[in-house]
C-alpha cells in the first residue's frame, strides 16, 4: 500500500520586495530591478537600428534628388541632344532616377518595419506592460 501524497505545510510564497520593485515569484525565474531611465534606454536600443537604416535611405534619396536637379539645371539642352552626348546624359539620369527610386522604396520598407516594431510586436507588448507599471507607480 502506498501512502497518500504529502501536502506542503508552508504556504505559497507571496509577493516580495526587492529594493523598490514588487514582483510575484514565478517558477525558475527571478525579477531584476530596473529604473525607468534604464527601461527607456533598453527601449531605444530596439528601434534605433531600424531608424538608422531608414534615415540612411532617406539621406540617399535626398542626395539623389539633389544630384538629379543639379544635372537637369546645369544641362545645356541644345548640346546634350547631339548624338555623341546623348548617351552620357541618359545614363547619368537613369542612374540618379534609379537611386532615388530604390532609396525611397527602401526608406518606406524600413519605416513600415519600424512602425510594426513600435506598435505590433512582442517588444511593443512587453514595453506597454512595463510602461503601465511605471505609470501606476507615480
Hey, what's the cell of 88? Answer: 552620357
What percentage of residues in the chain have a pLDDT greater than 90?
Answer: 22
- With beta carbons less than 8 A apart as the criterion, state whether 44 and 123 touch: no
Residue 15: its pLDDT value, please? Answer: 62
- With beta carbons less than 8 A apart as the criterion, state whether 94 and 31 touch: no
- With beta carbons less than 8 A apart as the criterion, state whether 31 and 21 touch: yes
Hey, what's the cell of 37? Answer: 531611465
pTM above 0.75, yes or no: no
Nearest to 123 by CA among 56, 9, 39: 39
Q: What is the pLDDT of residues 4-36, one digit of tens each?
A: 666 556 655 666 555 565 666 666 655 667 777
For the chain, the domains span 35-137
What does each C-alpha distance from 55 to 48, 60, 67, 100, 127 come to in angstroms? 10, 9, 18, 14, 24
Residue that wins the pLDDT comparison between 40 and 72: 72
Amino acid at each position: 500500500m502506498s501512502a497518500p501524497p504529502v501536502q506542503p505545510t508552508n504556504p505559497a510564497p507571496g509577493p516580495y520586495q526587492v529594493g523598490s520593485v514588487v514582483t510575484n515569484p514565478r517558477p525558475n525565474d527571478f525579477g531584476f530591478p530596473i529604473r525607468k531611465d534604464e527601461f527607456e534606454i533598453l527601449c531605444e536600443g530596439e528601434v534605433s537600428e531600424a531608424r538608422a537604416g531608414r534615415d540612411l535611405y532617406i539621406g540617399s534619396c535626398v542626395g539623389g534628388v539633389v544630384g538629379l536637379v543639379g544635372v537637369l539645371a546645369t544641362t545645356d539642352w541644345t548640346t546634350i541632344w547631339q548624338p555623341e552626348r546623348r548617351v552620357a546624359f541618359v545614363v547619368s539620369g537613369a542612374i540618379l532616377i534609379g537611386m532615388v527610386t530604390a532609396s525611397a522604396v527602401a526608406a518606406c520598407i524600413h519605416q513600415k518595419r519600424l512602425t510594426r516594431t513600435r506598435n505590433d510586436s512582442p517588444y511593443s507588448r512587453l514595453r506597454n506592460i512595463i510602461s503601465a507599471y511605471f505609470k501606476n507607480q507615480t
